[in-house]
Chain A
Amino acid sequence: MIIIGERINGMFNDIAEAIKNQDPTAIQEWAVKQLEAGSHYLDANVGPAVEDSPEVMKWLVEVIQDEVDAPVCLDTTDVEAMEAGLEVHEGTAMINSTTAEQEKLDAILPLVKEYDAEIIGLAMDKSGVPKDAATRTEKSMQIIANADAHGIPMENVFIDPLILPVNVAQPHAPEVLATIQQVKKLADPAPKTVLGLSNVSQNCNNMKLINRTFMAMAMAVGLDAGIIEANDEDLIDTIATAEIILNNDVYCDSFLEQYRK
């Protein structure tokens, strides 16, 4: 499981404050903390209340990579902010994200190619999040075909089938699971799959229980990556356990500790 730590996001007050004051302390603390918990990437989102997002994204990437040696997942809908982040990013960045809209694909995929980055493709277009797995898969295929046409290797494409909160959009969860399964068959080698996991439990009771249960279910159908709360120990335990049950890691009695190494 590729773990993308979700915490550096302007939606959280401490990060929003840090950005406002140009004080990297909180950001760098979370960078270290999430990596120690097992994150492979750090999601970076400037948040909604920001004026000049290209500048802020650039600053965010720089302060993160000043502190830690880890790739950043540039989480923005603003193509200029994305490019600003890519320019200063060291190593292979992940771009979060594009949809299946042709204009978006045409704008973002050349950047992905130019910076040899990885790309998260959302299985949706202008008309919103599809209801069923078939339409989600169709949108995924549009992203995959376009990425292939730009010469982007399938291993660098992460399809996000878009999970919605289970309290208000309950029928979506099984469709998302079916989509993950189908997306893995669209190309060979298969594209990767990713979920913004915490979305499944927004405003629900027992959020963490919902998150980790859905994580295990999604891993069973082939999920490769998750933008998750990396410091949720129980969630990491669930991931480690699922890796064992899926025969991805070799079992040993100390598998929970080994997974974190």
Chain B
Amino acid sequence: MGLTGLEIYKKLPQTNCGECGPPTCLAFAMQLAEGKAELSECPDVSDEAKEALAAASKPPIATITIGSGEFEREIGGETELFRHDKTFFNEPGIALTVSDEEDVEAKIEKINALSFERVGQEIEVDMVAVVNDSGDADAFAEAVETVANNSERTLILVSEDAAAMEAALDIAADENPLVYGATSDNWEDLLALAEENDCPLGVKGEDLDNLAELTEQITGEGYENLVIDGGARETAEVVAQQTMIRRLALKKKFRPVGFPTITFTTKEDSQEEAMQASNYIAKYAGIVVLSNVLELAEMMPLLTVRQNIYTDPRVPVTVEPNKVYEIGEPDENSPVFITTNFSLSYYSVEGEVPEDGYIIPVDTDGTSVLTAFSADKFGGAKIAEVMVEETDIEDKVSHRKVIIPGHVAVLSGKLEEESGWDVLVGPREASGIAAFISQRWEEELNS
């Protein structure tokens, strides 16, 4: 993403001396924008102009690596305001807080249990924020040590006290924790600690102005491994701040907020807290820190929201293909339906199967029945191969009758030939399945 001619022009000295070659600064700016000239050809170029040009070649939001090992993740690196414009790239980290005044081990055990499997992916809470509520450096270090010993999850060290942070980093610096947070009062000390241990530094502003001021001071010292916090804690304010940060970074290339963000929930009630966190996931947070959602039943929808928001909308959503899905409690007389693994196609069929049955979604790279058919991904031979070789449908039913979508009736001959099954041409639309089964299935089964 380059700078525009106008942006460059405003940073040029406006001398129109012509020493760069073109007669005016304006013409020179246009050549720079088109990549036809070098800034060094200008004799009076300012440091500000040099910086602006260098900044233009950087991505608008930095990618920050946090944690190590299994739970290491990248946050930031985003380029969109809306996921449908391209995609959101890096899922935010979900953290739970552990106070250095509570039973750390017991809480870690609960956090470690917050994990489940969804569409073949292991999903879990991946960060723990250790909070220095005691104000005591030793107690903080001890809590950090207990967390580190009992969990592999990425650490967020929450203390504004440099001595406490130093003690905690002595224990956990190798795990690349987030050092949180640098404020107007302590930033020099915390920056020194983050730099020394090469850890990401959380920067906490009182508001956006203060935040931008702070990050400029810190990046001025050459440190850019930052995660930022605009300081808001009420849902509406956080969403407004998150939106401003994302817009300024992407649309105005405003470097001081070109970093992933960290947000904190405030609701005591765990369900309200989960809803608050869902807002932050949808609205650009790089890390969401919660305190009270410790039940899997409440955490699961939140982690599901994260997974869904960060799926790539350019890639069709699919179901796991080439296996038998059982609907209801099917037996050896239940009908067998063929469809594709495009999730819209699959679920349309699933929702219409009136009683018990089997569905086999054939792998068509997530394309619909007609799309797959016209792209040669849904032919009789292929369906036969999936049925016979990749599934155990022959063991599950005693009949040999398979129902195909009505739109692809033409492939029934080939499918019969290759599979040895009788092919019944079903309705064109899944909405006709119920009628089809009630009118035809018993008769076909006995024929």
Residues in A lying within 8 Å of B, measured CB to CB? 137-138, 141-142, 144-145, 148, 154, 185-188, 190
Expressed in whole angstroms, the Cα–Cα distance for A94 and B9 within the complex equals 26
Asked if B406 CB lies within 8 Å of chain A CBs, one says no
Contact yes or no, B6 A137, CB < 8 A: no
Q: Which of the residues B6, B27, B33, B251 comes within 8 Å of A148, measured between beta carbons?
A: B6
Contact yes or no, B33 A142, CB < 8 A: no
Expressed in whole angstroms, the Cα–Cα distance for A186 and B10 within the complex equals 12
Contact yes or no, B33 A185, CB < 8 A: yes
Among all A-B residue pairs, the 8 with the closest Cβ atoms = A187-B6, A186-B5, A188-B4, A187-B4, A141-B30, A145-B26, A141-B5, A145-B9
Contact yes or no, B10 A148, CB < 8 A: yes
Cβ distance B212 to chain A, nearest Cβ, rounded Å: 20
0/1 interface trace, chain B 233-262, chain A, CB 8 Å (1 if under): 000000000000000000100000000000
0/1 interface trace, chain B 218-234, chain A, CB 8 Å (1 if under): 00000000000000000
Residues on A with C-beta less than 8 A from B10 are 148
0/1 interface trace, chain B 1-15, chain A, CB 8 Å (1 if under): 000111101100000
Residues in B lying within 8 Å of A, measured CB to CB? 4-7, 9-10, 26-27, 29-30, 33, 251
Expressed in whole angstroms, the Cα–Cα distance for A188 and B26 within the complex equals 16
Contact yes or no, B30 A137, CB < 8 A: yes
Contact yes or no, B6 A142, CB < 8 A: no
Known contacts A144-B5, A145-B26, A187-B4; 7 further A-B pairs (Cβ under 8 A)? A138-B30, A185-B4, A185-B5, A185-B33, A186-B5, A188-B4, A188-B7
Expressed in whole angstroms, the Cα–Cα distance for A178 and B440 within the complex equals 63
Expressed in whole angstroms, the Cα–Cα distance for A80 and B89 within the complex equals 56
Main secondary structure of the interface of A (DSSP, over half): helix
Contact yes or no, A186 B4, CB < 8 A: yes
What would be 24 A-B contacts, judged by CB atoms less than 8 Å apart?
A137-B30, A138-B30, A141-B5, A141-B9, A141-B29, A142-B26, A144-B6, A145-B26, A148-B6, A148-B10, A154-B6, A185-B5, A185-B33, A186-B5, A186-B6, A186-B30, A186-B33, A187-B4, A187-B5, A187-B6, A187-B7, A188-B7, A188-B251, A190-B4
Expressed in whole angstroms, the Cα–Cα distance for A187 and B9 within the complex equals 10
Residues on A with C-beta less than 8 A from B29 are 141
Expressed in whole angstroms, the Cα–Cα distance for A154 and B27 within the complex equals 19
Residues on A with C-beta less than 8 A from B30 are 137-138, 141, 186
Expressed in whole angstroms, the Cα–Cα distance for A236 and B5 within the complex equals 34
Residues on A with C-beta less than 8 A from B27 are 138
Cβ distance B14 to chain A, nearest Cβ, rounded Å: 10
Residues on B with C-beta less than 8 A from A137 are 30
Q: Which of B5, B9, B27, B29 has the most CB of A within 10 A?
A: B5
Contact yes or no, A141 B7, CB < 8 A: no
Expressed in whole angstroms, the Cα–Cα distance for A83 and B4 within the complex equals 32
Cβ distance A102 to chain B, nearest Cβ, rounded Å: 12
Residue of B whose beta carbon sits closest to that of A134 = B30
Expressed in whole angstroms, the Cα–Cα distance for A125 and B7 within the complex equals 23
Residue of B whose beta carbon sits closest to that of A149 = B10
Cβ distance A229 to chain B, nearest Cβ, rounded Å: 33
Expressed in whole angstroms, the Cα–Cα distance for A137 and B26 within the complex equals 11
